[in-house]
């Protein structure tokens, strides 16, 4: 009766959960579409791209002219306030800063590079979130299948336990056999509980990525898994990574930006000229005097030496970062590729060993156990071995997808 209550509660909780939330049944293509449309992290990152593009517009604009006016406030000779009429005094001046040395062009080039970096950062985020999405989808898909098997087995054990408890009460079988069955039931139920924990954690991650409150049910076939098995060489993968990986391209752009910044600092050493024209009513040498002139800083002491030297060190820093990233990338790709090839080998071996004979044998063992042709120890040993096979198949299939998606992430391109 105790185990009947457990199964009843599990079924009630499962039904309650299903009713409390809507179900979102999706395949891989639909999930990708929803992800690109709804994910707020991507939407936020895309706004940063637009913000950086706006800086290009800003870099192209010219400095505003400056207009100034000097009006008489108090005339002590005539005891007048704001004496600015025909016999009073006022001056007006219009100034325009002229940027020399190609500063404006340098600012435009730096703004374009920053926009490129923002786009690459978007691609980097997209690849990272897409890796999470695909990994979570196939993980939860495998967990869903395994939970279904566990539920079937728990139901079978419940039926056997009910029968064995009745027979034990009549003295037809020893009580120790009932205890062994209970132990097998509790062990399987504990494994199911651990699996449910992973299921709900993955479900939460998927709901965040897809921006949904519905329970995500991933619909896939074995073909969706086998498509990750492709013949690629490590040299092909390295070549794709050097051409497409956002992290590497960002560092390359940072080096370009450092070089542009050095060029900009050198241009800042060139003084800008300030042109102006002014009107002076009575304060100059002549009445209604109109003047024109210019001003320019004389670079005697400050020639921007410190900023230029700093920029030179920044270029060296960017170069070292680029070399470090290239070495790190090669190491990561080699290890990821070795893991992938090992997982492909495991998958091919496992799928060749696991076939319909397993299910037939399970059914036969259960029938023979109920007919007393198989003893309790043999049955439980087989039962646990079968579950280990199911867990191993789940692990291998999930690892195959994740290892292939990891290479996609490290190359910055959907190779698999």
Q: What is the pTM of this model?
A: 0.84
Count the residues in the chain.
Answer: 416
Place of tokens 């009947």: 4
CA pair distance 269, 301, nearest whole angstrom: 11
pLDDT at position 5 = 43
Confidence at 21, pLDDT banded by 50, 70, 90 = low
Q: Domains in the chain, ordered, with CATH? A: 2-62+99-269+304-411 (1.20.1600.10)
Encode pLDDT of 365-393 as tens digits.
888 887 788 888 888 888 888 889 889 99
pLDDT at position 356 = 67
Cβ atoms of residues 408 and 131 within 8 Å: yes
Confidence at 58, pLDDT banded by 50, 70, 90 = very high
Confidence at 138, pLDDT banded by 50, 70, 90 = very high
Mean pLDDT, rounded, for 339-351: 94
Given a cut of 90, is residue 136 above it in pLDDT? yes
CA pair distance 168, 174, nearest whole angstrom: 6
Residue 181 CB contacts under 8 Å (≥ 6 apart), including other chains: 157, 160, 161, 164, 376, 380
Cβ atoms of residues 225 and 397 within 8 Å: yes
CA pair distance 166, 223, nearest whole angstrom: 46
Confidence at 9, pLDDT banded by 50, 70, 90 = very low
Pick the closest to residue 250 from 185, 326, 334 (CA basis): 326
CA pair distance 384, 387, nearest whole angstrom: 5
Mean pLDDT, rounded, for 401-413: 96
Pick the closest to residue 343 from 385, 390, 393 (CA basis): 393
Encode pLDDT of 99-127 as tens digits.
999 999 999 999 999 999 999 999 999 99
Give the dihedral of Cα atoms 390, 391, 397, 401; nearest 10 deg: 160
Q: SS in 3 state form for the chain?
A: CHHHHHHHHHHHHHHHHHHHCCEEEECHHHHHHHHHHHCHHHHHHHHHHHHHHHHHHHHHCCCCCEEEEEECCEECCCCEECCCCCCCCEEEEEEEEECCCCHHHHHHHHHHHHHHHHHHHHHHHHHHHHHHHHHHHHHHHHHHHHHHHHHHHHHHHHHHHHHHHHHHHCCCCCHHHHHHHHHHHHHHHHHHHHHHHHHHHHHHHHHHHHCCCCEEEECCCHHHHHCCCCCCCHHHHHHHHHHHCHHHHHHHHHHHHHHHHHHHHHHHCCCCEEEEEEEECCCCCCCCEEEEEEECCCCCCCCCHHHHHHHHHHHHHHHHHHHHHHHHHHHHHHHHHHHHHHHHHHHHHHHHHCCHHHHHHHHHHHHHHHCCCCCHHHHHHHHHHHHHHHHHHHHHHHHHHHHHHHHHHHHCCCCC
Mean pLDDT, rounded, for 145-157: 91
pLDDT at position 193 = 95
pLDDT at position 17 = 46
Mean pLDDT, rounded, for 258-282: 95
Q: In the chain, what percentage of residues exceed pLDDT 90?
A: 71
Pick the closest to residue 321 from 241, 257, 255, 263 (CA basis): 255
């Amino acid at each position: 009766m105790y185990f009947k209550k457990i199964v009843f509660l599990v079924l009630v909780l499962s039904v309650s959960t299903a009713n409390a939330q809507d179900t979102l049944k999706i395949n891989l293509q639909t999930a990708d579409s929803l992800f690109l449309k709804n994910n707020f992290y991507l939407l936020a990152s895309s706004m940063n791209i637009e913000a950086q593009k706006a800086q290009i517009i800003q870099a192209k604009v010219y400095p505003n002219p400056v207009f100034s006016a000097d009006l008489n406030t108090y005339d002590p000779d005539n005891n007048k306030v704001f004496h600015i009429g025909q016999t009073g005094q006022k001056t007006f001046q219009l100034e325009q800063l002229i940027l020399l040395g190609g500063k404006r062009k340098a600012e435009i080039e730096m703004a374009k590079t920053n926009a490129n970096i923002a786009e690459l950062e978007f691609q980097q985020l997209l690849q990272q979130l897409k890796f999470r999405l695909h990994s979570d989808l196939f993980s939860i898909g495998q967990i869903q299948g395994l939970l279904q098997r566990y539920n079937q087995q728990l139901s079978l054990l419940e039926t056997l336990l009910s029968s064995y408890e009745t027979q034990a009460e009549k003295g037809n079988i020893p009580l120790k056999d009932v205890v062994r069955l209970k132990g097998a039931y509790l062990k399987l139920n504990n494994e199911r509980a651990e699996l449910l924990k992973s299921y709900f954690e993955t479900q939460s991650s998927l709901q965040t990525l897809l921006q949904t409150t519905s329970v995500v049910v991933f619909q896939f076939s074995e073909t969706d898994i086998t498509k990750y098995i492709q013949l690629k060489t490590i040299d092909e993968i390295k070549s794709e990574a050097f051409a497409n990986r956002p992290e590497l391209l960002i560092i390359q752009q940072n080096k370009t930006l450092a070089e542009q910044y050095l060029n900009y600092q050198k241009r800042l050493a060139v003084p800008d000229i300030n042109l102006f024209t002014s009107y002076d009513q009575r304060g100059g040498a002549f009445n209604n005097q109109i003047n024109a002139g210019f001003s320019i800083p004389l670079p005697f002491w400050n020639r921007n030496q410190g900023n230029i030297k700093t920029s030179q060190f920044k270029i060296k820093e960017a170069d070292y970062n680029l070399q470090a990233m290239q070495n790190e990338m090669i190491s990561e790709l080699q290890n990821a590729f070795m893991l992938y090839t090992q997982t492909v080998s495991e998958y091919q071996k496992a799928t060749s060993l696991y076939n319909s004979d397993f299910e037939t044998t399970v059914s036969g063992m259960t029938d023979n156990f109920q007919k007393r042709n198989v003893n309790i120890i043999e049955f439980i040993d087989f039962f646990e071995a079968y579950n280990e096979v199911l867990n191993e198949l789940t692990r291998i299939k999930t690892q195959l997808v994740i290892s292939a998606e990891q290479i996609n992430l490290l190359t910055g391109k959907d190779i698999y």
